[in-house]
Structure 1
Amino acid sequence: MGQLRLLKGLDSCVGRIAVRIAAFIPQRLPAGPPASFLLIRPGGIGDAVHLIPTISAIKTAYPDATIDVLAEKRNSAIFRLSPQIRRVFHYDRPAELFRALCGSYDVVIDTEQWHRLSAVVARMARAPVLIGYATNERARLFTHPITYSQDEYEIDSFFRLLTPLDVAQRKVSFPFLAIPREAVERGDALLREIKEKAFVTIFPGASIPERRWGAERFGKIAEMLAALGMAVVVVGGREDEGQGKVIVAGGAGLNLAGRTSLSETAAVIQKSALLVSGDSGVLHIAVGLGVPTVSLFGPGRAKKWAPRGDRHLVIDKGLTCSPCTTFGTTPPCPIAARCMRDITVDEVCNAVTVLLAATGGLPSSCCQDKEGGKRRS
């Protein structure tokens, strides 16, 4: 988080000046259909996941073209789950940033929504076609500036970056993430601890405290699922390990928080009947894998980030002060994130059981009456 704050501070202080200087960098002239692309994607996991369908659309339109991505260390692992990508460079590693800038690309697409320094990087690549969002002074640096809306689903926003290339938006096919075989094998090995029992994955973490729902509440969900004959598997980073212990304290499941890489986490989620999570990157991984989700929204913008479709249930109290997050920044909350606190355990339990029943995720013993063998209502 300290590095993230530093990058945002640098962008605010230095970004405006850098934009003015970078505007004088000359661009190469276009020469024929694009054969090489560089997509710049700093930021978190959720943005990276939502960008994958756009990358697939580029590869469909230009099957012989190469696609490289310039990402940050914190989100770069997502792009390893896309076979259409040739190379992944790190935005926050100077040597790799330099290598990306030395490449010769026909099209550079800056997918960052607000911060200016990524637009400066795009300009420095000197591609004949530069595409990016026109949300502030950064618009001056692109050959094709694109408008951006806070109320548009993020996958659709990324698709609109392809408008100058005449690439038609395609219906997104699920799953659109591909997990490496070794990660699948590692996930299978970890899941042996629950002995092939049907399970629901819970991710209790969040990028900011205001998006946390609470380990004790998630523990109640685990108890409810145990009563239905299902296990719970908690995923997350090392910072979520303590919450995981609380959630499975009643012996209702397995705590894998801090024990898996991102691709291994994805492999575990792929095997689950459903994911329960707040507004998080892990939530979007489940969506990209085609796994049903119950998601809890508060400060975040559900219109932009909440999963779509009948395999996903979104709980959002819709308070007058929410959503309050804009371009990834959430202001201090004067009412202690009531938008999350007002979501009750009963609401989440009901959503989980309804979605499990609708998607066939409940164990057969839960769907039949013990005496007559009839499905319960």
Structure 2
Amino acid sequence: MPDPATADLRHPAAHRPGQADPDWAAARRVLVVRPDNVGDVLMTGPVFRALRAAAPAATLDLLASPAGAAAAALLPEVDGVVTASVSWQQLDVVAGDDPDAALVDDLAARGYDTAVVLTSFSQSPWPAAEVLRRAGVPVRVGMSKEFGGGLLTHWVPAPPDAEHQVDRMLGLLAAVGVPSRGVELAVRIPDDAATPLAVVGARYAVVAPGASCPSRRWPAERFAAVVQGLAEDGLTVVVSGTDREAELVAAVAGEVGVPIAGGLGLGDLASLLAGAEVVVANNSGGVHLADAVRAPVVELFAGTDTVDQYRPRSTRAEVLTRPVACAPCRQLVCPFDQECLAVTPAEVLAAARRLRSVAVSVAG
């Protein structure tokens, strides 16, 4: 009897031994599917870098959500973007018999010969694979734990759930013949990026108190205390957010911060973060953008996800969280008291000062 510890117990349809890898050198139109948020798209940078080296003659496009599409313009290797609100990323029941019909027609008209479906550990590639099959994309690559028939032409078994998202995506590529070109995040700051540097001055910090859902947001009053402490350290403190976060931004800025709610595109924000002595933010796209421009970052990480899957690795960073039994919960609103974010302003200020190499003791 074969040793169960060494036997290949993968599903027989998954990445079959002897299966030929896609001919990347011959690829002409490649679509990368990642219809998620800004941070998820920013983390695809190493994927596009690897694909550009493997398929130098190909056009590399990204299928992105409306929220994530803005990040694509900052990735140097992305040639074009297909923006869609796909059915498999909606929280509510999608109306209509075929909500992705228009997307199928659009993809078919673009004539992709290869598609790579990127997912987190809790997402399935199979709905995207079916859309791609219907659109006539002949090579469809994805990663999954569960069986989905023949919808993927190259089905790669999933790694352990805790693997970093960048490593997960690069592992998918490596399994189909695309070597890594490095795990570091990188973005291209537009030449016309506008930043409020005249207001900010030479030495400043950026505090970003927003997040995609309430369960990820550290309390506003604690952010305000951090703004006060950074200002006492002699920094101008810019508090940034979207126009919908104007009330939150104003509350956190108080009398000492510089509130900027809306008015900055993602390229503008990248330019702003690049010059900051430190960035303080929730687990959000802002953290990944800071990571990509090498700004030191203190991240307040809620228990909605697992830290090691999303930890900043391209810059100096400290991730502050509390271990809790209910994590990772993936809840939009915490049903408890956000014990995972029971971090004090003093701890955040201490982390920020360590990253700035400023020997300042924190009272209390």
TM-score, length-scaled by structure 1: 0.78
* Structure 2 residue 197 is the aligned partner of structure 1 residue 191: yes
3-state SS in 1 of match to 2:66:
coil
Change (3 A) 1:225 1:124: same
Amino acid at match of 1:224: G
Q: Secondary structure of the equivalent of 1:256? A: strand
Q: Distance in 2 between matches of 1:354 and 1:315?
A: 13
8 Å contact kept, 1:210–1:336: no
- Give me the whole-angstrom Cα distance separating, in 2, the residues matched to 1:211 and 1:32: 42
How far apart are 1:306 and its partner, in Å? 1.6
Q: By how many angstroms is 1:92 displaced?
A: 2.7
What is the aligned partner in structure 2 of residue 285 from structure 1? 289
SS of the residue 2:234 aligns to:
coil
Seq. identity, %: 28
- Is 2:46 the partner of 1:61? no
* Residue 156 (structure 2) pairs with residue 146 (structure 1): yes
Say how many residue pairs are matched. 320
The runs of 4+ residues in structure 1 deviating greater than 4 Å are 29-32, 93-97
User: Structure 2: where are the runs of 5+ without partners?
Assistant: 1-21, 87-100
Structure 1 residue 137: Cα displacement: 4.9
What is the CA–CA distance in structure 1 between the aligned matches of 2:262 and 2:293, rounded to whole Å? 21
| Alignment of 1:272 onto 2:276 | yes
Residue of 295, 299, 310 corresponding to 1:295: 299
Is structure 2 residue 171 aligned with structure 1 residue 155? no
Aligned to 1:242, the other structure's residue is in SS state: helix
SS of the counterpart of 1:205?
coil
Shift of residue 182, structure 1, vs aligned partner: 1.2
Aligned CA RMSD, in angstroms, stands at 2.4
Letter in 1 for 2:339: R
**Contact persistence 2:143–2:155 (CA under 8 A):** yes
**Which residue of structure 1 aligns with residue 105 of structure 2?**
98
Kindly report which structure 2 residues correspond to 1:1-377, keeping only aligned pairs within 5 A, or say none.
Answer: 33-92=26-85, 98-113=105-120, 114-115=123-124, 116-138=126-148, 140-148=150-158, 149-173=160-184, 176-183=186-193, 186-187=194-195, 190-194=196-200, 196-251=201-256, 253-299=257-303, 300-308=305-313, 311-325=316-330, 330=331, 333-340=334-341, 342-357=342-357
Compute the displacement of 1:164 (Å): 4.2
SS in structure 2 of the partner of residue 182 of structure 1: coil
Whether contact under 8 Å (2:25, 2:57) holds in the other structure is no
SS at match of 1:38: strand
Greater helix proportion: 1
Shift in CA distance, 293/138, structure 1 to aligned 2, threshold 3 Å: farther
* Aligned-residue offset at 1:309: 6.1
Say if 1:119 and 1:138, in contact at 8 Å, map to a contact too: no
Please list the CA deviations of residues 320-367 of structure 1 after superposition, one character each: whole Å capped at 9, or x if unmatched. 222222xxxx27544222111x1111111110101111xxxx6xxx89
Q: 1:164 to 1:128 in 2, by over 3 A?
A: farther
Contact 2:27 2:57 in 1 (8 A): no
Residues 130 and 144 in structure 1, CA contact (< 8 A), matched pair in contact too = yes
Residues 266 and 285 in structure 1, CA contact (< 8 A), matched pair in contact too: yes
- What secondary structure, in the 3-state scheme, does the structure 1 residue paired with 2:212 have? coil
Structure 1: unaligned runs, 5 residues or longer: 1-28, 368-377
Q: Distance in 1 between matches of 2:264 and 2:156?
A: 38
The SS at the match of 1:319 is coil
Over residues 135-185 of structure 1, what are the superposed CA-to-partner deviations in whole Å (9 max), with x where a residue is unaligned?
4454641011123342010001111221343111232345x10011112xx
For residues 28-84 of structure 1, give each alpha carbon's deviation from its aligned partner in whole angstroms, at most 9, with x where no partner exists.
Answer: x97973232111111111210111111011102222221011111110011101121
Cα separation, 2, equivalents of 1:83 and 1:109: 18
Q: Which residue is equivalent to 1:22? A: none
* TM-score in terms of structure 2 length: 0.81
Task: Look up the match of 2:11.
Answer: none
1:374 aligns with none
Which letter does structure 1 place at the counterpart of 2:132?
A
Quick one: which amino acid aligns to residue 339 of structure 1?
Answer: C
Aligned with 2:218: secondary structure?
coil
AA partner of residue 190 (structure 2): P
